[in-house]
Structure 1
C-alpha cells in the first residue's frame, strides 16, 4: 500500500484516524502500531515476522544498554552485536544476490541466487533501529521500557516505507506524550495534499516523459533528447520522493508527531555541498551522526577526513541499492565534495551566482545518469549521447515534439522546485479559505482514478 492510492486515501487513512481519535491516550500507540502492521502487511505479509523480530531484538538490546550492571566495554559489545545483526539482516536481503552474482562472474561458479524480494522499507527501519541503540549507548536517549512504544517508533506507517529517517532521540518524548490541536491537524492535511499533488500530478506525469526517452537505446538518442530525458528524471525523482516526504510529515502532524524536513529546494543549490544539505536531509544527518563523526570526522587530520568522506559516500551509494552504479554514484559525489571542500568552494565564491547554479545543476544531472541505470554500459552510452558522441544529430522531430508537448509541465516543475513561503496566517483559515488545496486534492484523485501509471521510485531502496 502506498499513500498515493485510492485504497489508502478513502479507506485506510479515514479508518485509522477515526480509531485513533476515539481511543484513550495510552491506547493510541496500540492503534498506530496495529495499523502500521496492516499497512505493511498489505504489500508483504510474510515480512511482518521479520519486522517484529527486528523490533524485539533491538528492544532487548536497548534494555541491556539501559541496565547499570554492564561496564563500558560490555556496553560497546552490546552495540556492536546490535549493529552487526541489523546490518547482517539488511545485507542478506538487499545485497546477497549482488554478491553471489559477482562471485559467479569472477570465479566462474554457479552459486544459486536467493531470489528473495526486498522487504519494503527495510533500509529505513534498520537505520532507525540502529539510531536507537546508539542514542541509548551515548546517553542522548533513555532505553524505552515500553515495548509497544518502541515498536510504534519502528513500524510507524507514515515514515516506514520511505522515510524521512527519524532518529530516535528526536521522537522519544513524542512517543510518550503528544497532542494535536485543530490547527496542527489542518496543517497536516495541507502538507499531505501538497505532497500528494507533487507525487501524482508532477512526478507521475514527468515520469511518463522519462519512461519514453529511457526506453530508447542511448545510441539512438539525439543529444537534446538525452538532456531532456535526464532533466525529466531529475524532476521525477525529486517530486516523487519529496512528495512522499511531505505526505509523511503531514500524516505525522495528524497523529501528533513532528518529523523534521527532508528537502529544502535542492535544485536551487549553488554547489554540490549545498545540494546535499538540501536533498534527503535525514539520510545525510544519519550518516554524519552515526558514521562520519564516530570515524573521527575532521578531527584527525586531512587524510583521515578525506578517508571518512569517501567511506560515507560509498556507504551512501550502497544504501540506495545493490548495484555498481549506486557505488559509483556515491563515490562520484564523494570526490566532488572533496574537491569543493578544499578548493572548489573558494573558487565558486568568486563566480557569479548563475554560474554557480549552472555548475551545480550540470553535476547533479550527470549524477542522476549514474543513479538511473543499473547497467554501467548503458550509463556510459547515455553520457556519450549527452555530449554528442553517439553519432546522432543534436535533435530530431521527436525531440521537438516531446519538448513542445511537455513545455507547460516543465515550466510548472521549475516553478514548483523553487522555495515557497509557508502560510503566514492561521493554518485552519488557510485550508478553508483557499480552494487551491481542494482543487489539488480533486485533480490528484481524478488522476488516480483514470491512470495506471503510478510508480514509486524509492520502493527499491
Structure 2
C-alpha cells in the first residue's frame, strides 16, 4: 500500500486518543519536536549547534515526563518553602493524570535524537514516516522500546508474507493467554495476599504471595511484549525480543541481560556508557551501576519503593562485580540459580508493596516469623484451576522454550503446524471467555 505509513500513523494516533483524550497532544508534540530536532542535528555541521540541539531535544522530551510522572512525588518530598513557591506560581501538584506509555515513547524519542547526533542513524525527512514509527500502536503503550535503527529499513521497505501473518497471529494468541490465563490468575492470588493486614499474614501466605507476584509480573509483561511482537510481525516489522526466560538466570548480571532487555540496553547505551561505563576504574564503575539502577527504579514509578528496588539490584550487581574482580568468583550452577531467584523475589517485594514499612514487614514474615500454615482467607481462594495455572506458570517460566521466538516456517511438518494452530485457537477462545467472565485486569506496565 502506497499510503500504509500514513494509515498506520492515523490509526495509532486514534488508538492513543481513545485512552488519553486531551493528553493525546503530548504524543503529537513528541513526534513534531523529535523530528525537527533530529533533522536539525543531522543537517548542521557545527558541533556547538548540534550539541545545543541535542540538549534542547533531551530537555523537551524530559519535561512532560518529569511533570506528569514525578511532579506530585517531588512536591510531596520537597521542602515546604519550595513546594509553597510552586503553589504560589499556580503550578498544580495534585491530581495529575499520567499519560499512558509516556515513559516508553519518551525514551524512544531520546534514542532517536541521540543516535542522530552520534551519526548512527540518518533521520528520515518525512514526518509521516517518523510519526508512524514513534506512535506505532503495538509497542506504543508498554514497549518493547524499539529504536529507530532497529526498524529504519522496515519503515519504507517491509514485506509481510502469509507466513509472517500466521506467525504473528499465533504469537498474539499465546501472548494474550500468558496475560489472561496465567498472569491474571497469579495476580488474583498476589493481590489477596498483599492486601492482608500484617498481623493476619502467615509464613506460607507470604511465600505464596511473592511466588504468585513473581509469575504475574513476568507473564503480564512478557505476554504483552509477545502480543506486540506478533502484531508487528503481521504488519511487516521485526521488533526486538524483550524477555529471554529471565528466571533461568544464574546471576543478577545474567538476569538483567534477560529481563526487559530493551530497557536494559537503553540504560546501558544512553546512560551507563556516557557516564563512563567501566572505563574509569572500579569505583567509578560501581557508582555508575548504582546510579543507573536507581534511575531504573524511578523510571518504573515515583515512589520510594521503586527507588529501593532499583538500588537493591544496583548493589547486587556491584557485589557480583566486586567478588568476580577481587576473588574470581561468580555465581553459577544450581546454587547460583537458586540464590538469584531468591534475590529477585526479595526485590519484587519492594516493587509490589505500597510502602517501605509494608515491604519490610512482609519480608520479616517470609523469614519465618508468625504462623506457618496458609490463612483461611488465602486457602479459600486456592481453587484447583488457580493451583493448576500457577504450576503451569512455574514450568513455563523455568523452561528453556521462549514463546516469543516461535517461528512457523514453511518447512515445519504439517502436524506440528496444525497442533500449534489448535493450541493458539484454544488459548485465544479460553482467554476471551475469562475476559467475558472476570473482566480485564490492566497490564502492569501500563502504569509506567
TM-score by length of 2: 0.92
Structure 2 Cα separation of the partners of residues 174 and 423 of structure 1? 19
Counterparts of residues 37-52 of structure 1 (less than 5 Å): 37-52=13-28
Counterparts of residues 367-378 of structure 1 (less than 5 Å): 367-378=347-358
| Residue of structure 2 in register with 1:347 after alignment | 329
| Residue of structure 2 in register with 1:437 after alignment | 424
| Residue of structure 2 in register with 1:394 after alignment | 372
Unaligned runs of 5+ in 1: 1-23
1:92 paired to 2:76:
no
1:153 paired to 2:137:
no
Counterparts of residues 206-221 of structure 1 (less than 5 Å): 206-221=186-201
1:450 paired to 2:437:
yes
| Residue of structure 1 in register with 2:149 after alignment | 169
Counterparts of residues 61-460 of structure 1 (less than 5 Å): 61-68=37-44, 70-103=45-78, 111=87, 113-343=93-323, 346-349=328-331, 353-389=333-369, 392-398=370-376, 405=384, 406-417=386-397, 418-420=399-401, 422=406, 425-426=409-410, 429=414, 430-434=416-420, 435-460=422-447
- 1:137 CA drift (Å): 0.7
- Helix, strand or coil for the counterpart of 2:158? coil
- 1:247-285 residue CA offsets vs partner (Å, 9 max, x unmatched): 000000000000010000011111111111110000001
- 1:189 CA drift (Å): 0.9
- Helix, strand or coil for the counterpart of 2:99? coil
The runs of at least 4 aligned residues of structure 1 exceeding 6 Å deviation read 105-108
- 1:312 CA drift (Å): 0.9
Instruction: Note closer, same or farther for the CA distance 1:367–1:433 as it changes in structure 2 (3 Å cut).
Output: closer
Deviates more, 1:393-402 or 1:436-445: 393-402
Instruction: Note closer, same or farther for the CA distance 1:55–1:357 as it changes in structure 2 (3 Å cut).
Output: same
Instruction: Note closer, same or farther for the CA distance 1:102–1:190 as it changes in structure 2 (3 Å cut).
Output: same
| Residue of structure 2 in register with 1:12 after alignment | none
Instruction: Note closer, same or farther for the CA distance 1:297–1:149 as it changes in structure 2 (3 Å cut).
Output: same
Structure 2 Cα separation of the partners of residues 117 and 29 of structure 1? 30
2:138 and 2:231 in contact (8 A); partners too: yes
Structure 2 Cα separation of the partners of residues 298 and 358 of structure 1? 28
Structure 1 Cα separation of the partners of residues 259 and 121 of structure 2? 27
1:219 and 1:385 in contact (8 A); partners too: no
2:167 and 2:408 in contact (8 A); partners too: no
1:265 and 1:278 in contact (8 A); partners too: yes
2:42 and 2:119 in contact (8 A); partners too: no
- Helix, strand or coil for the counterpart of 2:329? helix
Structure 2 Cα separation of the partners of residues 67 and 427 of structure 1? 47
- 1:314-339 residue CA offsets vs partner (Å, 9 max, x unmatched): 11011101111111111110000011
Instruction: Note closer, same or farther for the CA distance 1:420–1:105 as it changes in structure 2 (3 Å cut).
Output: farther
- Helix, strand or coil for the counterpart of 2:276? coil
Structure 2 Cα separation of the partners of residues 365 and 105 of structure 1? 37
- 1:76-106 residue CA offsets vs partner (Å, 9 max, x unmatched): 1111111111111210110000011112679
Structure 1 Cα separation of the partners of residues 190 and 244 of structure 2? 24
Instruction: Note closer, same or farther for the CA distance 1:34–1:50 as it changes in structure 2 (3 Å cut).
Output: same
Instruction: Note closer, same or farther for the CA distance 1:53–1:400 as it changes in structure 2 (3 Å cut).
Output: closer
Instruction: Note closer, same or farther for the CA distance 1:48–1:107 as it changes in structure 2 (3 Å cut).
Output: closer
- 1:306-359 residue CA offsets vs partner (Å, 9 max, x unmatched): 12111111110111011111111111100000111120694345x6x2211110
- 1:389-442 residue CA offsets vs partner (Å, 9 max, x unmatched): 3xx211245365556744322211112212216457538855545411111111
Structure 1 Cα separation of the partners of residues 407 and 9 of structure 2? 32
Deviates more, 1:218-227 or 1:415-424: 415-424
2:171 and 2:227 in contact (8 A); partners too: yes
Instruction: Note closer, same or farther for the CA distance 1:189–1:453 as it changes in structure 2 (3 Å cut).
Output: closer
Structure 2 Cα separation of the partners of residues 401 and 442 of structure 1? 27
Structure 1 Cα separation of the partners of residues 139 and 163 of structure 2? 22
- Helix, strand or coil for the counterpart of 2:78? helix
- Helix, strand or coil for the counterpart of 1:218? coil
